[in-house]
Structure 1
């Protein structure tokens, strides 16, 4: 029960890493605010949590819209009286080199991956500042540290999130608010599986290529990132501030001979 009685808000927790984190947070004793733009997916996460005896509440909100981000936080406060942890997990990808990326795609990815982090954080920070206590986890990516073919807008946003994390930590350390970032490698989520099926003639060959980025030769699982998120959300990481936490199977710092 490493998160016993902590009220945790996880954006984009209807599927993938967000769902895995929501389930694990609840198992560790947290009261979980599940957020997603998909009501169906969000409710599935809540149902699964409750089936295992956990506490959860679903709030449908688009965190790229200020009023909806504010309502998300207010709903959590009305239900539980506080927000201890915000996990800015919601994100989307975009494929293409710069000259192949449409302005529409660029704006969409930037909106979700950067503006969504900004608005959700902006909505919850006054409450955390008043309490002089809080914990924000931002979802970056190991792509913030390395170059990867045809990921221009995605890498730009994840680099921005990492830089934002460090700046936020300086601003909010005086209020006893910690801000850290997760930097996963390629994680085998439903999104990645669909991407492989829809983007390649031979999805299995593409998967084998992606596996080679990791030293262990396998992709990560959503649960691998969820475990790291629990660590950052818990008091075990109380001396970590403005830090990037890598869960990438060695993609950044390792290279096979």
Structure 2
């Protein structure tokens, strides 16, 4: 019975996350919104950092209507000042920062020779430099506390170039993998874990728009052994596990959430 009780405690993710403070970039829609709502259901205090104020505040209002605690802060992850401000507001509002889900991302399409500098630089600015800025300020706060957990939203494109026209996006996501693993190595001794997730096709506006815009993306689900597109809630469940200390020995990993795509 004691062994069963210990196992039950281990897998009780909500209990392991209750009262912890999480910052979620891009928490206003899609995977970020779904994860924010799930985090609040677990009793976490949620800080939504996103550019679209109306959407971000709507998520906060929904969490509060359900009895949770949440705060919105207008944040463009390409701005060092705004990222630092978001982390500072989280700490001022709730006293600390325990967890972060760096979910903000930017898509980019075009064959390598046809890419404009603006498209390439835009993808790198959000998906690589923006991710680095978020981790930079989150890590400063977490290392001072001696504990913390970060999850970065990467993509299966960080490992495989799925179809033509995603060179800039894939380059930025490969950089995100390297940043995630480097941070995990460098900050483990300070009690901070850094992991990533690599979603395949997920039913979000970003995915649905890419299907409309790019004929290659329309074949996505055919490449997935599961034969379907994933749901944002399926991603959020893995994020919350990685943020919790049920995953206390998981560090420097990028977990595929892809219906078996990377294994195929």
Residue aligning to 1:174: 189
Secondary structure, in 3 states, of the residue corresponding to 1:252?
Answer: helix
Q: Does 1:159 align with 2:174?
A: yes
The match for 1:62 is: 76
What's the offset of the Cα at 1:115? Answer: 1.0
Please, which of 15, 26, 29 is the counterpart of residue 15 of structure 1? 29
The residue that corresponds to 2:262 in the other structure is 252
Q: State the Cα RMSD in Å.
A: 1.3
Cα distance in 2 for partners of 1:213, 1:46 equals 36
- Can you list the C-alpha shifts for 1:89-144, whole angstroms capped at 9, x where unaligned? 00011111211211000011100101111111111212211111111111111111
**Distance across 2 between alignment mates of 1:63 and 1:36:** 8
Aligned residues: 249
Alpha-carbon shift at residue 198 of structure 1 (Å): 4.3
Deviations 1:210-245 (A, max 9, x none): 211110110111111111101111111111010111
1:88 aligned to 92, 102, 105, which one? Answer: 102
Q: Find the aligned partners of 1:210 and 1:165 in 2 and give their Cα distance.
A: 26
2:253 alignment partner in structure 1 = 243
SS in structure 2 at match of 1:166: helix
Residue 196 of structure 1 is matched in structure 2 by 211
Worse-matched range after superposition: 140-149 or 31-40: 140-149
Residue equivalent to 1:138:
152
In structure 1, C-alpha distance between the alignment counterparts of 2:19 and 2:238, rounded to whole Å: 19
What CA distance in whole angstroms lies between the structure 2 residues aligned with 1:159 and 1:137?
16
Partner of 2:9: none
Residue 195 of structure 1: how far off its partner (Å)? 2.9
> Equivalent residue of 1:138, what SS?
strand
Q: TM-score, normalised by structure 2?
A: 0.91
Shift of 1:206: 6.0
More helix by percentage: 2
Q: Which stretches in structure 2 are left out of the alignment for 5+ residues? A: 1-13
Q: Which runs of at least 4 in structure 1 moved beyond 2 Å after TM superposition?
A: 194-200
Q: Kindly indicate whether residue 37 of structure 2 is the aligned counterpart of residue 37 of structure 1.
A: no
Distance 2:210 2:140 in 1: 38
Matched residues in 2 for 1:212 and 1:95: separation?
A: 20
